[in-house]
Chain A
Amino acid sequence: MSHPNHADAGAVAHTHPPYMKIFALLVALTVIEVVIPFAMKGNHGLAVTLLIAISVVKILYIARYFMHLKFEARILGLVACAPLLCASILAFVLLWEF
């Protein structure tokens, strides 16, 4: 995990996650997201599926690298997943309505 970073004279060397690569990925995914509604006007189902998939990828990268969940104790990851459980229950109950 080496990447060019501004070198600071005399500072303790740390390895940082590849922030700029993830930034580039997030921007690229956002551009694709904005293009999808224009490019896939006729195929709403596929467009929605793609948009949701891209958002999930973006969220995973933000949580794992920017919020450092990838490098953290497992307990924090479990805490972070707690709302997902609640969201699933909410989704299940709401879908019941239709």
Chain B
Amino acid sequence: MSSDHHALPHIETEGNFEFTNGKFAMWLLIVSDAMAFIGFLGAYMVLRISAVDQPSLTGMPWQPAWSLPMDLILTGLNTFVLICSSVTMVKALAALQDGNQAGLKKYIALTMLGGAFFVGFQVFEWTHFAHEGITIQGMALVDLDKAVTRSAEAGGKLTKLEIATQLYGQRKMDGTPDAPVAMPAGKTAADFRSGNFSEGDYLFLELEVRDRASMDMRPIRGGIIHHAAYGVPGSTAEPKGRHGLELRAELEDAEPAQRGAIMAAHRAAGAKVASLFCSSFFVLTGFHGLHVAVGVLYLGIVLCRAFQGAYTTKNSSIIEVAGLYWHFVDLVWVLLFMLIYLI
């Protein structure tokens, strides 16, 4: 090397990692993509930290833990598959650097397989969530008795009253002279404590919200779904849903015996309660899953080119650049898995 190129530093490398323009461009892509993920993750963490246990007018609830059909072991296995695909990716590069063309094709094909499996599992998980009534729009109204059963299956010890409180907000049960509460016909506070009530009965009670400024308990007429609509967002069709106040009026007008049927009708119509969990979970895993899917397509193109004999030890950096993208997607999943599933 002539001495007039003193500006170029000598770079120590292990193996033969070249610093090419393509690699620099991929790093720029990764960095900007990372910022998009950081934005989503930041939103996720703020929503999660600021969520309250119960719905109120001042705060939105997180999803009740018992209602999340997450399987940590299965997702852990899926994480394992993604790590394996990262290893096969570096193995593909190592094979090419060693002049092993067959190894290159084999390992790239295995990496694609791992990625496809990962996306496939996520489709399965989303389908499972949708089956449980959990979609990006929110959580389907759950039958109270079913919710109690599910909570017990999940190892919880919540009573029917506690579940109703989690789902529909804290309500007043005892009438006092200052804040009279109309009890549903034939029901007393004792009935509610013993679980002898229907969903409609519970919704008929006054919703109580603690005013943040004055810390006064003030009854507010309204109810569930007060922060949720269940029309399709962005659609021009007439929304099918009702807000809490309308629902309350409907329940008030109805015969006490009809209240359960009214709630069942709303459930059947696809009523959803807005949920911070739903909004952030599907955005984060969807954005990441899209990246994995794009990565599989990317590797598919690389594999086709490999079969044409396009890659040699001289241009192995093309494989390395593809690998950078793949490892970045793996790296993001390390964060998502920890923040969404483990914490």
Q: Is the CB of B87 within 8 A of A23?
A: yes
Q: Does B338 contact A (CB under 8 A)?
A: yes
Which residues of B sit under 8 angstroms from A26, Cβ to Cβ? 83, 86
Which secondary structure dominates where chain B touches chain A? Answer: helix
With A19-B87, A55-B335, A71-B17 known to touch, is A8 a contact of B343 (CB < 8 Å)? no
* A14 to B330 CA separation, bound complex (whole angstroms): 25
Q: Is the CB of A90 within 8 A of B94?
A: no
Q: Is the CB of A12 within 8 A of B313?
A: yes
Which residues of B sit under 8 angstroms from A48, Cβ to Cβ? 343
The B305-343 residues at the A interface (CB cut-off 8 A) are 313, 320, 323-324, 327-328, 330-331, 334-335, 337-338, 342-343
The B67-97 residues at the A interface (CB cut-off 8 A) are 72-73, 76, 79-80, 83-84, 86-87, 89-91, 94-95, 97
Residue of A nearest to B43 (CB): A94
The A8-49 residues at the B interface (CB cut-off 8 A) are 8, 10-17, 19-20, 23, 26-27, 30-31, 33-34, 36-38, 47-48
Which secondary structure dominates where chain A touches chain B? Answer: helix
List 6 other contacts, CB 8 Å, given A30-B83, A83-B34: A5-B98, A13-B98, A23-B84, A52-B338, A90-B42, A94-B46
Chain B positions within 8 Å of A, measured between CB atoms, are 9, 11-17, 19, 23-24, 27-28, 30-31, 34-35, 38-39, 42, 45-46, 49-50, 72-73, 76, 79-80, 83-84, 86-87, 89-91, 94-95, 97-100, 103, 313, 320, 323-324, 327-328, 330-331, 334-335, 337-338, 342-343
